[in-house]
Structure 1
């Protein structure tokens, strides 16, 4: 373990799990308390489609796979950018859910069909409460993963991988609504927040501006 942490000094970011997970599970424990219901008219027009459980569950592997690729194969800059993107949005989500308890009443009480997909949805419903949904972290993290992959010097140049990532990202975003896991409002908020983070992390490159200034100063001195 000592050798691992010595080789991968950037693994300190894993400590964020000790902040996020206890906070998230505490929020989930308040599911029986009063909360603000998130709902817009468009939610009622979107049908329930159980087949979207597939991309919805792929989200876990998708976000983790990009994280592991950047951790072991990517540059430290790309890895830190991804972490800044993810952790900032996830922390804002925790703060919003703490100050503004929220949830929805969109889940169907019964299913028209009985198949392996509806069984998987039932298990999802049992494991995940319909609270703490604004903004959608499924949406936000999917966009974060795709943007990190697209900006990677290796993976981003592969049109097949980049295209597959885009399709998966869109499928996950749609899945949040077709599985009745999120309101359209949650999805819109997740997209808006991700768009703002994309501008900060990849457009202005704010996290590394100080590094570039220091480098220019050193070059000037030399």
Structure 2
């Protein structure tokens, strides 16, 4: 048991869920009126499309799968991914706390249209249209993809990187095509990811790549 606890001692970071979930649920229950509407003109040009519910829901598996993979195979990448994820998620909650925000352009859904529309109706019922800026769906998807492409373990797995990129883009698009977010929420998430990348990844030391460079020079 001691060796197991030592091997997976980095699991402590997952305790962040006990901070994030209660805080998020509190905001969901309290931010119900008098919030700032997030909107830009681009939102009017994006049609609703219920089929995007597929990548939107895959987000849960994408993020959880990446955390689980790096947790078991690459502790260094796991720490970097969690640092980027949890710092950004905390900043997002802080923004929503001091700057209550939401959207007001969800369409009326006909659940009888197809299974995808029915699933969207369930999503709308379970998830409010508040606390949307910056988009956590967009931010976390970018974080996961960055972890994938920066992983030394996945360096030669080009198919995995390509699949990750396609899924990341699909999830980001899903947030606006499902009318869950304003495009402005997505842009805010991208900006936050760019800034966080600088602190977590930019300039980080990668021995294996340095050795390759030295061999090429020498």
Q: TM-score under structure 2 normalisation?
A: 0.90
Write the distance in 2 (CA, Å) between the matches of 1:98 and 1:112: 33
Partner of 2:95: 96
Partner of 1:70: 70
Partner of 2:106: 107
Q: After superposition, where does 1:126-205 map in structure 2 within 5 Å?
A: 126-205=125-204
Secondary structure of the 2:128 match is: coil
Partner of 2:49: 49
Write the distance in 2 (CA, Å) between the matches of 1:107 and 1:145: 28
Structure 1: tracts of 5 or more residues without a match: 210-222
2:112–2:118 contact (8 Å) kept in structure 1: no
Write the distance in 2 (CA, Å) between the matches of 1:171 and 1:196: 22
Q: TM-score under structure 1 normalisation?
A: 0.88
Write the distance in 1 (CA, Å) between the matches of 2:155 and 2:176: 28
1:42–1:184 contact (8 Å) kept in structure 2: yes
Query: 1:112: Cα distance to partner?
Result: 9.6
Q: After superposition, where does 1:35-46 map in structure 2 within 5 Å?
A: 35-46=35-46
Deviations 1:149-207 (A, max 9, x none): 111112232111100000000000000000000001000000111111112211133xx
Query: 1:3: Cα distance to partner?
Result: 5.4
Write the distance in 2 (CA, Å) between the matches of 1:182 and 1:105: 10
Write the distance in 2 (CA, Å) between the matches of 1:48 and 1:99: 30
Write the distance in 1 (CA, Å) between the matches of 2:135 and 2:32: 20
Structure 2: tracts of 5 or more residues without a match: 206-218
Write the distance in 1 (CA, Å) between the matches of 2:116 and 2:169: 19
1:142–1:172 contact (8 Å) kept in structure 2: yes
Secondary structure of the 1:164 match is: helix
1:20 maps to 2:17: no
1:31–1:129 contact (8 Å) kept in structure 2: no
2:77–2:147 contact (8 Å) kept in structure 1: yes
Of the structure 1 ranges 19-28 and 104-113, higher mean CA displacement relative to structure 2 is found in 104-113
Query: 1:21: Cα distance to partner?
Result: 0.8
